[in-house]
Structure 1
Amino acid sequence: MNRKIGLIGAISTLVGTMVGAAVFVLLGPLVDQTGPSLALAFLLGAIPAFFGSAYYIQLGSMFPSSGGSYIYASRLLSPTFGVLAGLCMVFAGIGAIGMLALGFVNYLGFYFSSLPVLTTALLTVFVFLLINFFGIRFSSLLQVGMVIWMFIALVIYIFVGLFGQLNGDFAAVDNGPFMRGGITGLFMAAVLSFYSYAGYGIITEIGGEIKNPQKNTPRAIVISLILVTLIYMGVSYVSTTIIPIDEFIGFSASIPMTAKLFLPNWVVNFIAIGGLLAIFTTLNAILLVIPQELYVMGKEGVFSHQFTKQHGRFQSPYISLVVIGFITMFLLITGLSETTFATMTIVGLLLGGVLMGFSALKIFKKTPELYKNSAVKIPKPLLILLSIFGIISSLSFALLAILDVPIVGAMVLGIAVIAIVYCKVKDINNNKFLFDEMIDDFQNEVMEDYK
């Protein structure tokens, strides 16, 4: 597949994935736990993401391929673990699509109270399936435009709120103790806020579509994490100083409703549209990225070759796209809640992250030449330490999420058992595509890219 996404497109995909509906709609529950220390909670929540991003950066620089989760785990652990890692990403993607479709309906409900929930959610999924059918270049350009709008909306909110207080246009509200819920409340909010960063490694799924991926993939991850952290902290500070917290907690659309207090109506409307685009950018990014897993596994003969079919003109993997879209639609029709879909996303991404951490620990034994010639070389002791920390933190957060919504744990266990039995029956560990010698071939291909 031709590489069609530059650094700006890669950053837009990541920022659009991480800055979703939560920052526009769901700040209230976090504020209830933290009070004015919400910005600190988002900073603390970003720490595991920055540590965990280390092995994504290293792996993405060494293996600039689409379907990154499957590729990393299959080459560095085993083909079976590769399938499990790939299915974790697909599971997370399906959860994200369902969650965002329902989140879009709920956000619109602030303006239009009589919308049919299921019909609107299904239509939303269908529209974005259609957008991504027209190919990666089209959906990437659309992603850039939507992220720019959303970013400008949030920057206006932050800067007018900050400078308005500094210039004395309005006084900051005294919202009581800095840590409303004490250390415990701050810690729990930090754990929840980590969910807002959970998609930081998703760009590695389309490494094969990125121009100069050995350099642009790590740059995109670092720049995006910094931008997103600053956005969350800025929004949190303004939101907790502009209005009494007890009033803010009750807002159904946090940022637009707060913006009404200090911004003209046309700017409030601009920000409200930014909230819709925040949902759209995440939904578009997921549908841009996740089908690549099925495409790559189909290409290597693990799953049906039908998943590799691409539209002749737009080069979109339309079979993979349609399968993911229609599974999501089916789950929406069954009545799964927004919370269940959200937990699917978090658990899938975090368990995939656990496998990526173990994959990173195998780099020095299995692919020393790739590491030696990589555009990014995180020192071995540091990478091992960060990978272990990433594994522990990702697994811990995943277990907390499963305890909160046990049905997701049952779904993950069922998929894992079916996948392991499938791999055993198909004997994919001896698949001609997946011999250990494939690593040598892959190294040669990547070395050609470096040259």
Structure 2
Amino acid sequence: MNLFRKKSINAMLQQAKTGTPLNRTLGAWDLTLLGLGAIIGTGIFVLTGTGAVTAGPGIMISFLISGLACALTALCYAEFATITPVSGSVYTFTYATLGELVAWIIGWDLILEYLLAVSLVSAGWSGYLQSLLHGFGISLPTALTAAHGAVPGVETWFNLPAFIIVMIITFFVSRGVKESARVNNIMVIIKTAVVILFIVVGVGYVKPENWHNFLPFGFEGVFSAAAITFTAFLGFDAVVSAAEETKNPAKDLPRGILFSLGICILLYIAVSAIMTGIVPFAEFKGVAHPVSLALQYAGQNWVAGFIDLGAILGMLTVMLVMLYGQTRIIFAMSRDGLLPGVFSKVHATYQTPYQATWIIGVIAALLGGSVSLDRLAEMINIGTLTAFTLISLGVIVLRKTQPQLPRVFRTPWVPYIPLLSIAICIFLMTNLSAGTWYVFLIWLVIGLFIYFIYSRNKSLLNELSD
């Protein structure tokens, strides 16, 4: 069998109409807030401090670089999203351009990426919640505050808050995209307001002398920080996963992608500039709450409390959107026959992949509660960068192989924009650690084993070839 056989775009559109239909309820505003919900979270409340330690005030350039890579890729995403407005994100697009094997690899890659994202953020959310409760004199049993061995010198066994919050979010996602969107929209508005509050209050306490040593580690530090902080933008591609539940995907998807990404790039640069202007960058080492620390330095403790609350809400929406995107990608892979059919069954009442949502939700909750995933954090970045590289390549391929396809949105300056996107993504991947590459390759080998033993034999393309 041809490992690089492609699925017809017309067949994808027909399958979306006649197969197991999802409910089209989302507009451009919902999609923009969905993107903001995925992007404004752990990155802005945690990684700003991590990046500052690595790059100094030059973290502003790091965010600009990683944001630019996302923006270039977003232009490619937008073109694909209007051509194939179906679930599956980059997996679906790759299937139509680069073939089944590559599509399987990237889909398998995205499963790990999204799953780890939910688990990692749930653990971070648990830490912020416990910090907030501690301020009210409430403490949880130590054994239930973190995964076993996660805290050196402390006997912990299970992160109960992390497990519970993923279960709650799974409930909302399983009930329907509109219900999930309502919850997401409310929390996004609140946490965006909190970030703006930080900018308005913090700008008056900036000391320009803290920026004088702007690149203490040179551009090497800037590039390393860009590779690390790329996680901050993880999830804007989750907007594309909502293609099959969008009212007018041709117009709304490009707007949702580009609007959410543009807003977040500006907010990240502004927040990192103010943080490093208030606090000497070295002070952020080992700090899990860098934004509120900056306000504490400024003597604005009351605002710092709001920031902690915003961080809790921010990470809630990240988990919600990541779990949503994960289930839609698995839904698409199952519908193509590459995964068992249970993952593509749609609930008669809620019109969601109900069983897939709960299966993935339980796994993510158990990982967040029982496993320390610090060493795997960069795995999220390498997965995202791989996906971005393939989608940019796919635009070039599709322009050559199927130039006649109707394109409501066209990526400008092809092939130069996609090639620049590919170059930046590969460059950032080279700045990731060797350990990250080893784990990624192990996951890839497992995925290839499953593909050759199960998936290629069950693929619906076999029926077409017969």
TM-score range relative to shorter protein: 0.7 to 0.9
Residue in 2 that maps onto 1:271: 307
1:101–1:121 Cα contact (<8 Å) kept = yes
Distance 1:280 1:333 in 2: 16
Match of 1:178 among 214, 224, 233: 214
Counterpart of 2:251 in structure 1 is: 215
Distance 1:212 1:91, change over 3 A: same
Summarize deviations over 1:169-225 as a string: whole Å, max 9, x none.
Answer: x75554541222223222322332233224332311221112211111111121112
Provide the residue aligned with 2:317 in structure 1: 281
Counterpart pick for 2:282 among 225, 246, 258: 246
Residue 233 in structure 1 maps to residue 269 in structure 2 = yes
Within-5 A mapping of 1:306-385: 306-332=342-368, 335-340=371-376, 342-370=377-405, 373-379=406-412, 382-385=413-416
- Cα distance, 1:158 vs structure 2: 0.6
Q: What are the superposed Cα offsets for residues 64-101 of structure 1, whole Å, 9 maximum, x if unpaired?
A: 11112232112222223222222222221111111111
Q: Deviations over 1:253-295 (max 9, x none)?
A: 1112222344755433222111111111110001122211122
The residue correspondences of 1:23-172 to structure 2 (distance < 5 A) are 23-111=44-132, 112=134, 114=142, 116-117=145-146, 118-162=159-203, 164-165=204-205
Structure 2 Cα separation of the partners of residues 183 and 362 of structure 1: 33
Say whether the 8 Å CA contact 1:49–1:198 is kept in structure 2: no
CA displacement at 1:154 relative to structure 2: 0.5
What do the CA deviations read for 1:42-78 (whole angstroms, capped 9, x no partner)?
A: 1122221122222111111211111122321122222
| Residue of structure 2 in register with 1:438 after alignment | none
Q: Does structure 2 conserve the Cα–Cα contact (< 8 Å) formed by 1:354 and 1:394?
A: yes
Match of 1:422 in 2: 453
CA displacement at 1:152 relative to structure 2: 0.4
Deviation at 1:128, TM superposition (A): 1.1
Paired letter, 1:384: P
CA shift in 2, pair 1:79/1:245, >3 Å: closer
Alpha-carbon shift at residue 121 of structure 1 (Å): 1.8
1:322 is aligned with what amino acid? W
CA drift of 1:401 comes to 3.3
Q: Secondary structure at the match of 1:110?
A: helix
> Could you tell me how far apart the structure 1 residues matched to 2:447 and 2:423 are?
20
SS at match of 2:446: helix
| Range 134-143 or range 59-68, more displaced | 59-68
Superposition CA RMSD, Å: 2.5
Moved more, 71-80 or 105-114: 105-114
**Aligned: 1:432 with 2:463:** yes
Contact 2:295 2:304 in 1 (8 A): yes
Please tell me whether residue 389 in structure 1 is matched to residue 420 in structure 2: yes
Moved more, 134-143 or 301-310: 301-310
Shift of 1:250: 5.0
Whole-Å Cα distance in 2 between the matches of residues 385 and 240 of structure 1? 35
- CA distance in 1 between counterparts of 2:388 and 2:450 reads 18
- TM-score norm. by structure 1 comes to 0.86
What letter matches 1:123 in structure 2? I
Q: CA deviation at 1:402?
A: 5.6
- The residue number in structure 2 matching 1:193 is 229
The counterpart of 1:205, out of the listed 233, 241, 245, is 241
C-alpha distance in 2, partners of 1:383/1:326? Answer: 42
Change (3 A) 1:400 1:248: closer
The answer to whether the 8 Å contact 1:358/1:387 transfers is yes
Report the count of equivalent residues. Answer: 425
Alignment of 1:295-310 (within 5 A): 295-310=331-346
Q: Contact 1:95–1:343 (CA<8 Å) still a contact in 2?
A: no
* Alignment CA distance shift 1:94-1:119 (3 Å): same
In structure 2, distance between residues paired with 1:139 and 1:171? 41
Q: What is the aligned partner in structure 2 of residue 4 from structure 1?
A: 25
2:218 is matched by which residue type in structure 1? G
Specify the code of the residue in structure 1 equivalent to 2:274: V
Residue 26 of structure 1 deviates from its aligned partner by 3.3
Which piece of structure 1 moves more, 92-101 or 402-411? Answer: 402-411
Asked whether the 8 Å contact 1:36–1:179 carries over to 2, the reply is: yes
Question: CA separation in 1, counterparts of 2:260 and 2:465?
Answer: 33
The letter of the residue matching 1:258 is A
Q: Is this contact kept in 1: 2:42–2:232, CA < 8 A?
A: no
Q: Could you tell me the TM-score, scaled by structure 2's length?
A: 0.83
What is the CA deviation profile of residues 297-345 of structure 1, one whole-angstrom value per residue up to 9, with x for unaligned ones?
A: 22233332222222232222112112222332454466342331x2332
8 Å CA contact 2:338, 2:458 repeated in 1: no
Match of 1:403 among 407, 429, 434: 434
CA contact (8 A) 1:52 1:389 kept: no
CA contact (8 A) 1:13 1:285 kept: yes
Aligned to 2:12: none
Q: Distance in 1 between matches of 2:358 and 2:102?
A: 25
Q: State how far apart, in whole Å, the 1-side matches of 2:50 and 2:408 are.
A: 42
Could you tell me which amino acid in structure 2 is paired with residue 354 of structure 1? T
3-state SS, counterpart of residue 414 of structure 2: helix
